[in-house]
Amino acid sequence: MAPPQDRRLPDDISTAIVTDKDMGVYVHRKQAPSEWIYAGTFQGEIGDQPAKFYCIDIDNPIAFYSPYRSDGPTSPEITYILNHYYPYVPYGARGDELRGATEVRGKKKEAAAIQLAIWYFSDGIKINEWADGFCFQSGVCRPFSQAIKQRARKIIQDAEANAGSTQPAETLEIQIIRREDTPQLTAQFKVIARDENGNGVPHVTVNLNATNGVLSDYTAITGDNGETPLITITLPMDSAPLTTTVTATANVVIPQGTRYVHVLSSGGSSPSVSPDCPPPHEKQKLVLATPTQATRQDTESVSWERDFGDAPNGSLGGIIYQYPTRLGDGNNGGARHFVNNGIYLGNGVDAEPDGQPSGDADGDDMNDVSDEDGVLFPPDGLKRGQENCIRVTASVDGYLNAWFDFNGDGDWDDESEYVFADYPLTAGTNDLCFTIPSSATTEKRVYARFRFTQDNPNGSLSYDGLWSNGEVEDYWVSVGSPTAVILSSFSAGAQAADPWRIAFPALASIALAGGIELRRYFLPNHKP
Ligand SMILES: [Ca+2]
Ligand SMILES: [Ca+2]
Ligand SMILES: [Ca+2]
Ligand SMILES: [Ca+2]
């Protein structure tokens, strides 16, 4: 998440200058039909940046080209109006639900309606106190549109109901939801706008761009929960590099209003004032400052770097191996994991653009870092028809899935070939034991695939296809027959428990004689 940005206030926010009227109409109150008052925005500067102001002191005129100094924040209602309506928006541009066919059209009338609403909160002037007529700056007068007053009432209602309830977005956060790598490299993400309390901020317009790839949307708006809909970025499969950096930017309005009070310079020249109004009063308080714009931003890199296996695919020594290893193998492509977060077997993992099938299942090992290093087999080999133990090293707690092609027919589909299913591993070494069927081949190589991932696949991980994180390591092993043991003699005493126990150095084809029955057997150092 990006840190809060500067609010980009002008260097000098303490001094405002009003230079002219901007957008509005002349109105008058019912009890003073001859006094036309300009309702709308004034233009000027805060510091050296352009700004627009509304008046909050209807009894005193605006002084042009004469400094105003800041005088603290505005009330919550006026702040709300500034945040939501400032300075004015042409009809229909905002998609504002407050707008309707009977409401104002045009910036001048909208600015006037906003000013009437502000005067309601700053000077207590009710909308029905305004006369039914107005004049444009050109001097052309019209009957005062009921639409302006109706619009002002709605703004007042909105501010009374919602003032203080909306905080500006302080941070943006890009969240990557998922990545896919077929048929193209895609990632889905959303952008979350949060206020300073971490709550989602709705209606924030987020602009998006990426260093690489095509975005489904280049603009998105946050919903009620502060989150944009999902956005997709797409790169071609052969993209180089296999990464892109997404940037989300929002220009947010800081809902602050600042009161400005006119400063009369003692002994200085008289400021020029609006020709419609009397000279400024010493105690004249005046206008609102603009709410300020700020930029919020977050960047997030997305990577499609994957680790593949290297079990063979194709004809080798008269056997057709069908292990899905490359992206194009099988229905779901070869086994592959996105490389990230230090989730791997052994001492590490490296990424490669595609699977590297090889007869010795060492294509990945030979490429770049020798990373297929997480599984240790017994030095005297695996034996069929008995329990065997292997040592698996994991970088973090996670889950192991493993397949052995025990019958050596080039697939992992046969009975008993799915050896470990979502088997939990702890970070570090794990000794795992399993029984190899007595039907396992001793003639052919037995290829094995190990897939490790941090999140529990809950049965959805296979020996092929993409997984979100982790590593795939492929091996080949030889399976031998148990060593024959000839029991030439032994001594055993009577025991209370059945059976008698006889320890052998290795499990064997045991020739039994003399009525001895082998009911149960176990390996040294392992519990029966
Ligand atoms: Ca690998
Ligand atoms: Ca690798
Ligand atoms: Ca590894
Ligand atoms: Ca098989």
How many CB atoms sit inside 10 A of residue 375's CB? 21
For residue 321, being part of any structural domain is answered with yes
Domain shared by 198 and 276, yes or no: no
Which pLDDT score, from 0 to 100, does residue 495 have?
Answer: 54
User: Which CATH number belongs to the domain containing residue 210 in this structure?
Assistant: 2.60.40.10
Q: CA-CA distance, 485 to 131, in Å (whole number)?
A: 113
Q: Are residues 278 and 137 in the same domain?
A: yes
* The pLDDT value given to residue 256: 63
- Compute the average pLDDT of residues 237-246: 89
Q: Which domain holds residue 402?
A: 306-480
Of 32-46, 261-275, 383-397, minimum mean pLDDT range: 261-275
347: CA distance to ligand 3 center in Å? Answer: 6
Cα 198 to Cα 176: distance, rounded to the nearest angstrom = 19
Q: Is residue 355 part of a domain?
A: yes
Of 163-177, 286-300, 318-332, 474-488, the least confident: 286-300
> Is residue 158 located within the same domain as residue 179?
no
Do residues 83 and 197 share a domain? Answer: no
Rounded mean pLDDT, 475-501 = 68
Report d(CA 39, CA 16) in Å as an integer: 19
In a shared domain, residues 200 and 237: yes
User: pLDDT digits over 459-472, tens only?
Assistant: 999 999 999 899 99
Residue 335 C-alpha to ligand 3 middle, in angstroms? 14
Statement: residue 4 has pLDDT above 90: no
- Which bound ligand lies closest to the C-alpha atom of 475? 1
Residues of the chain with pLDDT > 70, as a percent, come to 76
**Same domain, yes or no: 201 and 98:** no
Could you give the CA distance from residue 162 to residue 86 in angstroms, rounded to a whole number?
16
Cα 153 to ligand 4 centre (Å): 77
Distance from the CA of 349 to the center of ligand 2, in angstroms?
5
Q: How far apart are the first and last CA of the chain?
A: 54
**pLDDT score at 67:** 81
Phi, psi of 159 (to 5 degrees): -65, -40
CA of 473 to the centre of ligand 3 (A): 7
The 3 state secondary structure assigned to 223-290 is CCCCECCCEEEEECCCCCCCEEEEEEEEEEEECCCEEEEECCCCCCCCCEECCCCCCCCCCCEEEECC
Residues 132 and 149 in one domain: yes
Residues 271 and 327 in one domain: no
- Could you read off the pLDDT of 490-522 as tens digits, one per residue? 555 555 555 555 555 444 455 555 555 555 554
Residue 292: what pLDDT? Answer: 63
Q: How far is the CA of 508 from the centre of ligand 4 (A)?
A: 25
370 and 321 in a common domain: yes
- The larger pLDDT score, comparing residue 314 to residue 341, is at 314
Q: What is the number of the ligand closest to the CA of 371?
A: 3
Q: Is residue 301 part of a domain?
A: no
Provide the domain count of the chain: 4
Query: What's the whole-number mean pLDDT along residues 345-357?
Result: 93
Residue bearing the bigger pLDDT, 370 or 432: 432
**At residue 274, does pLDDT exceed 90?**
no
Instruction: Tell me the pLDDT tens digit for each residue of 130-189.
Output: 988 776 667 677 765 678 898 899 999 999 998 866 677 889 999 999 999 988 999 999
Q: Round the average pLDDT of the chain to a whole number and report it.
A: 82
Distance (angstroms) between ligand 4 centre and the Cα of 412 equals 4
The rounded Å distance from CA 452 to ligand 3 centre is: 9
Looking at per-residue pLDDT, the higher value among 72 and 77 belongs to: 77
Residue 319 — very low, low, confident or very high, per pLDDT cuts 50/70/90?
very high
Query: What is the share, in percent, of the chain residues with pLDDT greater than 90?
Result: 48
Pair (213, 117) in one structural domain = no
Residue 9 in domain:
no
